[in-house]
Amino acid sequence: MAIIKKMADAAKQDHGEREEGRPIAAVKPAVRSAKRIAGGSPRPPAEGQPSLSVSAPNKQRGRGALSNESGRFESETRYCEDDGWGSTEDLPPLRTQVTQERAKTIITRNDSPDISFDRSINPYRGCEHGCVYCFARPTHAYLGFSPGLDFETRLFAKTNAASLLERELSAPNYRPKTIAIGANTDPYQPIERKEQIMRQILGVLARTNHPVGIVTKSALVLRDLDLLVPMAEKGLVKVALSVTTLDPGLARKMEPRASAPARRLETIRLLAQAGVPTVVMVAPIIPAINDAEIETILTRAHAMGAREAGYVMLRLPLELRDLFTEWLLAHYPDKLRHVLALIRSVRGGKLYDSTFGKRMAGSGPYAWMIGRRFEAAAAKIGLARSRMPLRCDLFSPPARRGEQLQLL
């Protein structure tokens, strides 16, 4: 039976006290409506104290996270706890819920020295791919939802993204630089088939000759070849496919609703064949889980037509630390302590270090070894690490709303 715990209960447990939690029915309706609780999911062990005695949670088919604990901004902390009685029946499958959102702005700016772009677009909040390692999961806490199952089932679609983009591109002081799409959540996640927000955005960028870099795990990007090919001919686009593993079993566990690894490699081949520059991203590299596949992934991707490559070390900010630890406990309990020890070795003894210059590749001997392996493999097969610049000189801003047409 699921039990609701208040933050005060947690404090009392620290002093050896414990009170019986209130049942779900006792929660205020306004709070309860904003959360869903996945039955049978244990509270993950505290950082630094993995426990191998916790029973594996019931799995929600096709979902990456194993629990739905409330975010850090909530007045109540909620999680599931086994009271010893077990579950009388399986939970119904979680359905994806999409909320239409009217965004106020669409181009997000950043000044991070760790990434090659200073602006990006996120058509969606949350991601149905359900990648358990996704560093964007904690952002769902800002919306009052859980970074766990809510992140992959409670989605928000920015339906006015294309019109906002036209407005922002038409600003008199706008100066074109490559816009990254897919740096946070995947623009080609399954709901894009119906919503088609990414296609509308791409249409605006194509009409204005604006450069764009796309990162995705989905073969759905092939749907937009009619837009991508003409842009590629002008030097306006490149597409990066994230290939985390070539093992379909591991992929189903880590990223259950993303395209299968073989399908992603085929997507690289078809994009390259059509003349669209392609990049393979080995991201993230997870110590002792997929690090042995670096050379194989690069070799296979190059054979399919990829000509650039990159990698990112696993990042575990905020709530993601507990979610990933819980996933390890369920799927690789024998590797849990080893994996976490290696992660700490590249993060200065912690599970995450957000310091600029370190957060993407890590530091220390293990991180150094991964970097040299990647560079050696990429150089051997002819994959470039340098980023091919896209053209900005062809940009033609859209006419501002209400602006009088110029006389010929």
- Is the model's pLDDT at 51 over the cut of 70? no
Give pLDDT tens digits for 55-94: 334 456 789 888 888 888 887 776 666 666 665 455 667 7
CA distance 265 to 262: 5
Stronger pLDDT, 43 or 397, i.e. the higher one? 397
Side chain identity at residue 176, one-letter code = P
CA distance 71 to 209: 40
Backbone angles phi, psi at 166, to 5 degrees: -60, -45
Side chain identity at residue 309, one-letter code = A
CA distance 87 to 85: 7
pLDDT band at 148 (very low <50, low <70, confident <90, very high): very high
The CB density around residue 163, as the number of other CB atoms within 10 Å, is: 14
Of the chain, the percentage scoring pLDDT greater than 70 comes to 79
pTM of this structure: 0.82
Reading phi first (left if > 0) and then psi (alpha if -120 to 50, else beta), residue 235 is in left
Q: Where are the alpha helices (DSSP H) in 19-82?
A: 29-32
User: What integer pLDDT is reported at residue 387 of this predicted model?
Assistant: 72
User: What integer pLDDT is reported at residue 354 of this predicted model?
Assistant: 86
CA distance 185 to 344: 26
Say whether 365 sits in a helix, a strand or coil. Answer: helix
Q: How many helices (H) and strands (E) does the chain have?
A: 13, 12
* Helices 197-207 + 161-169 axis angle, to 10: 20
CA distance 218 to 181: 13
Q: Which residue has the tokens 């077990």?
A: 86
Q: Is the peptide bond before 284 cis (omega within 30 degrees of 0)?
A: yes
Q: Which residues pair with 4 in a beta bridge?
A: 22, 78
Give pLDDT tens digits for 220-235: 999 999 999 999 999 9
Domains in the chain and their CATH numbers? Answer: 97-381 (3.80.30.30)
Nearest-CA neighbor of 211 among 257, 169, 180, 182? 180
The CB density around residue 168, as the number of other CB atoms within 10 Å, is: 17
Least confident of 37-46, 87-96, 294-303, 378-387: 37-46
